[in-house]
Amino acid sequence: MRVLRWMALLLTLLVSPAQAKDTLFILIPVGPGSISDVYARLLQRHLGKYFPQETEIVIQNMPGAGGAKLCNYLLTPLAGSEKIALLSPGIGAKLLGDAAFASCTLEKLVDLGAGDEGGRLLLFRRAVGVEHPEDLVKLSGSTLYVASTAKTSFTVLMSKSLLNSHGITLVSPGVYDGAQSTLLAAQRGEADVAMQSATDYLNAPKAGMVAVCAFGTIKNERVARDPEIPNLPTCTELAARRQGAETPEQKLMTAVTKVALLGNPFFAPSDFPKDKVALVRDALARVHRDPAYLGEAAKLGMSTTFLEAERFRSRREGLIKELDEVGIGELIDSVFGR
């Protein structure tokens, strides 16, 4: 009788093998602790249940060159068929013409949609004499240093435009890996200016640093204050204005704001299994409506907006066309004096 039971059990295992667990890797171009890393790990806790087969979500940090390293990795043959990338802040640097992204061709990647990182702020070290936004006028003629993740990052372009307008010279001492590294560099005194997400700043203000201005949002094609932090002026507001026409600095700040609002885009390599593209797109859209996910995001003060793949692609293509029309390359050259 016992032999018959074992034979029946063996037969059951042979006829109905256990279904293997899938693994999906989410690659992010920043180190642990940044807002993009926190966002990815929040998704990690909820995304797996939206796949028909049990799926483990694994986060891999791949910092380097402000996102260019990860973008180029995705374009490598057999980069990983079960890997997707949260390509932020790299998408902004790419659209704004950073040379490090010259070989990163977005058209060769598969759009999966985009989450919203929320507002961004420029922080200054109190030690340079900035305690309030209006204190910038006192620094005319001085030189400040900026910590950034790329040569033409949001931080560099926005702070360069702002400080140029006040006659302040901005110098970059080098490129750092990740937003946390730039903030630590500023706190150590290696730089005077850094960028931080509004969520991070409101949850954990950095010692010795003060938020001077916000990137803001776009309303009727103009930069407006971020409704989440209405008491903080936009960086465009603080830019010194000339009588008459809009200055190159103001034009560049508006362009940077629009690019920053694209948020956190997800891409898959071209060799990603075709049958799984729709599954991942659907899972990303559904998790951003999940009550448990939304509850955790609210506690972290994070935005829960999600643009599905087609809407994100349409918005990105429209923005690329707009940047071409304003001559973004020439605009950056004029502000940087090149």
Mind giving me the DSSP string for 117-145?
A: ---EEEEEEGGGT-SSGGGGGGGTT-EEE
| Per-residue pLDDT reduced to its tens digit, 218-250 | 888 889 998 888 999 999 999 987 656 788 999
What is the average pLDDT across 93-122? 86
Q: What CA–CA distance (Å, rounded) separates 124 from 19?
A: 54
The predicted pLDDT at position 14 comes to: 47
One fold for 21-117+263-324 and 120-260:
yes
Provide the pLDDT confidence category of residue 162 given band limits of 50, 70 and 90: very high
User: What fold characterizes domain 120-260?
Assistant: D-Maltodextrin-Binding Protein; domain 2 (3.40.190)
The predicted pLDDT at position 100 comes to: 80
CA distances from 75 to 45, 104, 140, 267 (A): 28, 7, 45, 11
Strands 55-61 and 22-28: parallel
Provide the pLDDT confidence category of residue 177 given band limits of 50, 70 and 90: confident
In sequence order, the 6+-apart residues with CB closer than 8 A to the CB of 157 are: 96, 252, 253, 256, 332, 335
Provide the pLDDT confidence category of residue 92 given band limits of 50, 70 and 90: confident
In sequence order, the 6+-apart residues with CB closer than 8 A to the CB of 52 are: 279
Domain boundary assignment for the chain? 21-117+263-324, 120-260
The predicted pLDDT at position 13 comes to: 44
Provide the pLDDT confidence category of residue 94 given band limits of 50, 70 and 90: confident
The CATH class for the domain spanning 21-117+263-324 reads: alpha beta
Q: What CA–CA distance (Å, rounded) separates 269 from 25?
A: 12
The predicted pLDDT at position 270 comes to: 87
| Per-residue pLDDT reduced to its tens digit, 289-331 | 999 999 999 888 787 889 999 999 999 999 999 999 999 999 9
- Given a cut of 90, whether residue 285 has pLDDT beyond it is yes
| Per-residue pLDDT reduced to its tens digit, 38-79 | 899 999 999 999 999 889 999 999 888 778 889 888 888 766
Q: What CA–CA distance (Å, rounded) separates 25 from 80?
A: 9
Structure token pair of residue 299? 């506690």
- Given a cut of 90, whether residue 117 has pLDDT beyond it is no
Q: What CA–CA distance (Å, rounded) separates 172 from 186?
A: 12
Mind giving me the DSSP string for 18-79?
A: PPPPEEEEEEESS-TTSHHHHHHHHHHHHGGGGSSS-EEEEEEE---GGGHHHHHHHTSTTS
Q: Is the pTM of this model over 0.75?
A: yes
Q: What CA–CA distance (Å, rounded) separates 225 from 215?
A: 8
Indicate the average pLDDT of the chain: 86
* Residues paired with 59 in a beta bridge: 26
Question: Are residues 157 and 122 in contact, defined by beta-carbon separation less than 8 angstroms?
Answer: no
CA 90 to chain centroid: 7
Place of tokens 């360069």: 160
The predicted pLDDT at position 179 comes to: 74
The predicted pLDDT at position 16 comes to: 45
Query: What percentage of the chain reaches a pLDDT higher than 90?
Result: 50
